[in-house]
């Protein structure tokens, strides 16, 4: 396995909820609502000392999304007091009875613990599904109006069932390393010839998956944002690899917030997103730097720091990465399409940007960056992109 990802502990859960009401309107932004609601249900069920930690984290999330940016500790992003990501898949603004809502939960680093999911997070989901508390169960509200249809766990490019139709498989024990099994990035040292011979024939898609058939264990749809997408039928792509054609367009499918470049003036308090919307388009160096910062989550505390992350690379690998980053230039300004995200959403900018060409040797780093999410507010799924 590629040395650079060997310390990355990660468990990915695909959660499928089935609506049990004639009309449900999910709260927006959905990632923040999921974090707040499930976090509150978790806090209500924990002993007082642990509950206090969760309530503090939830309160901090409300404050942070309106505070001036600045790089935060990737290990304790506002939202929950654990290293986690909540990533809703693109969906509708309203759902009817029987329709499915899909979202992904990622437990990272020291919190990539399946027992944590089973003993703390899953009971909160069940409580949110069945609550009769008028604080939550309102007409058209999601809370109290859904069933947990299924839960899957990622093993490389496949989704494996953990729970189906109310039946939980207690014999399934996912490991924090299985997320990378069979993914191209696990090899890392791809060759140029290998990249040219890759079997990706569909347009890359966001880090999401269509619902696998409930009655069988099959290879799930592609999890990699750089690899083949599920077809229109929802069936998984049968082959995967690095894209054959050169990649130039980077599309942020969730708002990004990488902090400020040293060349950009700091905004006045209270208007962080408006100020960043006028800042320069993120360069490849800023994206890779954000990845290195995110990777500090997975380096043991006594050896933490960005330099320790760089040290995971050999001298030759680091030199090649530096060279490729320096050679990757932004395309013409007229082709940049980043704009300010909605003010209520975590993150500041969303849209697409264009490079003059992205080296094939950067693909493992960029795929990892999108899977882990980069920048600030990553708990809410910020910093996810695809390449095209």
**Proportion of the chain above pLDDT 90, given as a percent:** 64
**Residue 326, pLDDT above cutoff 50:** yes
Q: Hey, where are the domains in the chain?
A: 3-193, 247-387
pLDDT digits (tens, 9 = 90+) for 222-269: 334 433 233 223 333 333 566 666 789 999 999 999 874 433 334 444
pLDDT in the model for residue 197:
40
Helix (H) or strand (E) holding 272: helix 272-277
Cα distances (Å, whole numbers) of residue 325 to 102, 215, 288: 35, 45, 8
pLDDT level of residue 135 (50, 70, 90 thresholds) = confident
DSSP state of 243: B
Please tell me the distance from the alpha carbon of residue 148 to that of residue 16, in angstroms, as a whole number: 6
Please tell me the distance from the alpha carbon of residue 322 to that of residue 226, in angstroms, as a whole number: 21
DSSP state of 347: S
**Straight-line distance from the first to the last Cα atom of the chain, in angstroms, rounded to the nearest whole number:** 26
Q: How high does pLDDT run on average in the chain?
A: 81
Handedness of CA 40, 44, 45, 49 (dihedral sign): positive
Class in CATH terms, 247-387: alpha beta
pLDDT level of residue 205 (50, 70, 90 thresholds) = very low
Q: ∠ at Cα 29 (48, 47), nearest 5°? A: 5
Q: If you average pLDDT over residues 140-154, what whole number do you get?
A: 97
**Residue 342, pLDDT above cutoff 50:** yes
Closest CA to 126 of 163, 98, 158, 95: 163
The answer to which of 226-235, 286-295, 343-352 has the lowest mean pLDDT is 226-235
pLDDT digits (tens, 9 = 90+) for 36-89: 999 999 999 999 999 999 999 999 887 765 544 444 444 456 889 999 999 999
Helix (H) or strand (E) holding 78: none
């Amino acid at each position: 396995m590629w040395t650079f990802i060997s310390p990355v502990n990660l468990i990915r859960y695909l959660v499928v909820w089935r609506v049990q009401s004639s009309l449900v309107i999910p709260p927006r932004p959905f990632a923040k609502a999921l974090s707040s609601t499930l976090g509150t249900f978790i806090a209500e069920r924990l002993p007082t000392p642990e509950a206090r930690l969760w309530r503090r984290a939830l309160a901090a999330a409300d404050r942070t999304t309106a505070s001036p940016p600045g790089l935060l500790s990737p290990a304790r992003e506002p939202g929950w007091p654990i290293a986690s990501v909540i990533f809703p898949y693109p969906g509708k603004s309203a759902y009817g009875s029987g329709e499915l809502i899909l979202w992904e939960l990622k437990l990272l680093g020291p919190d990539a613990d399946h027992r944590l999911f089973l003993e703390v997070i899953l009971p909160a989901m069940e409580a949110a599904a069945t609550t009769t508390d008028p604080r939550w169960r309102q007409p058209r509200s999601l809370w109290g109006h859904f069933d947990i249809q299924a839960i899957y766990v990622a093993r490389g490019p496949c989704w494996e069932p953990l729970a189906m139709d109310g039946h939980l498989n207690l014999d399934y024990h996912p490991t924090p390393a299985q997320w990378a099994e069979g993914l191209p990035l696990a090899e890392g040292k791809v060759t140029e010839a290998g990249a040219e011979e890759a079997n990706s024939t569909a347009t890359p898609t966001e880090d999401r998956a269509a619902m696998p058939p409930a009655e069988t264990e099959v290879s799930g749809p592609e999890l990699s944002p750089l690899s083949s997408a599920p077809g229109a039928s929802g069936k998984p792509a049968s082959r995967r690899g690095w894209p054959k054609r050169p990649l130039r367009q980077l599309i942020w499918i969730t708002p990004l917030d990488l902090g400020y470049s040293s060349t950009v003036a700091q905004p006045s308090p209270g208007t962080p997103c408006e100020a960043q919307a006028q800042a320069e388009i993120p360069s490849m160096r800023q994206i890779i730097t954000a990845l290195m910062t995110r990777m500090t989550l997975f380096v043991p505390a006594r050896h933490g720091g960005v330099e320790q992350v760089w040290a995971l690379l050999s001298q030759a690998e680091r030199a090649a990465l530096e060279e490729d980053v320096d050679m990757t230039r932004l395309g013409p300004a007229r082709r940049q399409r980043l704009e300010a995200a909605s003010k209520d959403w975590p993150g500041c900018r969303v849209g697409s940007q264009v490079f003059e060409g992205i080296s094939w040797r950067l693909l493992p780093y960029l795929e990892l960056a999108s899977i882990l999410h980069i920048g600030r507010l990553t708990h809410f799924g910020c910093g996810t992109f695809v390449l095209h």
